[in-house]
């Protein structure tokens, strides 16, 4: 094998319910992921060493071992004694620091492509287990579709969708740091700000996240209004504390479509619409938000997969 091209999708959290911080530093989550048809591509070529180049939206991203793609490659090399290397080319279309798991998609595509290039023969479940070592969202980027995520998001149960979903995504040129948003969540739920408002309280949030049972039922049906009514992101409040401008975006979106939600930790905002009227809603929101990158997507989409090889 000399060359493999693979891709992996971005995601939207239809709901993201957050519990207390765990001893390992992560938070317990109850979330519903949906993969959308915005894909980052990874092309890998047989080579002696490891190298990475990036084009597209993430052209200024680091290309050393701080990049999750290189970490994915090194994980495979070290775990399975791979002696060869790879020249890796990453083409990014998923917004950076937008809450759509673009980095996780890159890792998923790299694992998929290098598994093929290096002829490791790893199964889908084995790749997801490796992906969980790299990041909480990597297993879902490998799986795709719609799935219920628990634990820190890496424990997945696939859901059967009842309808195609249209999404208008408003990507902000200024992203948000996921760790910073979670730190703000902790301050609001369990920190001094909480104790000042509720004297004597240890926390105002549940130790365990709220469940997504009603949303999971809704996504397996055809009623988009029912889906929209159950969309909820517990990270919205901490994100707004860091980026008050997001509140104005939600205000201007108003009652467009079937509901809007901050994707992940932000700063992308996703509006659920019917697939039949996707282009109409996209054109309308582009006119209303000339300062944002507004684009359309559909879901659920396939997880990481091979596009071509030789």
CB atoms near residue 226 (< 10 Å): 16
Q: Which helix (DSSP H) or strand (DSSP E) does residue 11 occupy?
A: strand 3-21
pLDDT beyond 90 at 190: no
Which helix (H) or strand (E) element contains residue 283?
helix 278-288
Q: Is the pLDDT of residue 199 over 80?
A: no
Whether 195 shows a pLDDT value over 90: the answer reads no
Alpha carbon 305 to its chain's center: 17
Domain membership of residue 199 as a residue range: 1-310
Place 193 in a pLDDT band, splitting at 50, 70 and 90.
low
Q: Could you confirm whether 11 is annotated as catalytic?
A: yes
Q: How far apart are CA 1 and CA 102, in angstroms?
A: 27
* pLDDT tens string 120-178: 999 999 999 999 999 999 999 999 999 999 999 999 999 999 999 999 999 988 889 99
For residue range 76-135, what is the model confidence (pLDDT) as tens digits? 999 999 999 999 999 999 998 899 999 999 999 999 999 999 999 999 999 999 999 999
Residue 200 has pLDDT above 80, yes or no: no
Answer for the pair 108, 141: CB distance below 8 angstroms, yes or no: yes
pLDDT at 189: 85
Query: Which tops the pLDDT comparison, 67 or 60?
Result: 67
Please tell me the least confidently modeled range out of 30-44, 104-118, 201-215: 201-215
Tokens of 219: 């996504």
From 28, 41, 106, 137, the catalytic residue: 137
| pLDDT of 210 higher than 50 | yes
**What is the pLDDT at residue 262?**
97
Q: Tell me whether strands 260-262 and 27-47 are parallel, antiparallel or unpaired.
A: unpaired
Helix 68-80 vs helix 124-134: crossing angle, to nearest 10: 120
Taking a C-beta distance cutoff of 8 angstroms, is the pair 61, 107 a contact?
no
d(CA 298, CA 36): 5
The pLDDT > 90 percentage for the chain reads: 89
CATH of the domain at 165: 3.30.230.10
- Cα(147)–Cα(170) distance, rounded to whole angstroms? 23
Distance between CA atoms of 94 and 283, rounded to whole angstroms?
20
Amino acid 173: pLDDT? 86
- pLDDT at residue 202 greater than cutoff 50: no
Q: What is the pLDDT of residues 8-21, one digit of tens each?
A: 999 999 999 999 89
Number of structural domains found in the chain: 1
Place of tokens 């990475």: 52
Tell me which of 11, 30, 40, 92 is the catalytic residue. Answer: 11
Q: pLDDT, tens digit, for every residue of 217-274?
A: 999 999 999 999 999 999 999 999 999 999 999 999 999 999 999 999 999 999 999 9
Would you call 2 exposed, middle or buried from its count of C-beta atoms within 10 A (0-12, 13-18, 19+)?
exposed
Q: Which residue, among 212, 201, 205, has the nearest Cα to 147 in the 3D structure?
A: 212
Confidence of residue 1 (pLDDT cuts 50, 70, 90): confident
Residue 60 has pLDDT above 90, yes or no: no
E strand or H helix that includes residue 139: helix 138-143
Global pTM?
0.92
What is the pLDDT at residue 274? Answer: 96
- Is position 307 annotated as part of the catalytic site? no
pLDDT digits (tens, 9 = 90+) for 270-294: 999 999 999 999 999 999 999 999 9
């Amino acid at each position: 094998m000399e060359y493999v091209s693979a891709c992996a999708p971005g995601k939207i959290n239809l709901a993201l319910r957050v519990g207390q911080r765990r001893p390992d530093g992560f938070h317990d989550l109850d979330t519903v992921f949906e993969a959308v048809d915005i894909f980052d591509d990874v092309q890998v070529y047989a080579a002696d060493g490891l190298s990475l180049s990036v084009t597209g939206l993430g052209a200024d991203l680091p290309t050393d071992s701080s990049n999750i793609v290189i970490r994915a490659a090194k994980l495979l090399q070290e775990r399975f004694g791979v002696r060869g290397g790879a020249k890796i080319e990453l083409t990014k279309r998923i917004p950076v620091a937008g809450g759509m798991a673009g980095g996780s998609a890159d890792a998923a595509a790299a694992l998929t492509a290098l598994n093929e290039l290096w002829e490791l023969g790893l199964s889908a479940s084995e790749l997801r287990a490796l992906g969980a070592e790299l990041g909480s969202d990597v297993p879902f980027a490998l799986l795709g579709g719609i799935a219920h995520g628990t634990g820190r998001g890496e424990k997945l149960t696939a859901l059967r969708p009842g309808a195609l979903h249209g999404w208008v995504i408003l990507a902000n040129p200024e992203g948000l740091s996921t760790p910073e948003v979670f730190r703000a969540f902790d301050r609001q739920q369990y920190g001094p700000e909480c104790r000042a408002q509720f004297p004597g309280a240890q926390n105002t949030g549940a130790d365990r996240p709220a469940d997504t049972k009603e949303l999971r039922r809704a996504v397996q049906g055809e009623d988009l209004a029912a889906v929209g009514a159950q969309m909820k992101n517990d990270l919205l409040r901490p994100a707004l504390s860091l980026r008050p401008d997001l509140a104005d975006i939600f205000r201007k979106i108003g009652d467009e479509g079937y509901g809007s939600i901050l994707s992940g930790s932000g700063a992308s905002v996703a509006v659920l619409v019917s697939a039949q009227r996707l282009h109409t809603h996209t054109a309308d929101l582009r006119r209303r938000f000339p300062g944002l990158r507004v684009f359309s997507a559909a879901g659920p989409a396939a997880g990481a997969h091979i596009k071509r090889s030789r």
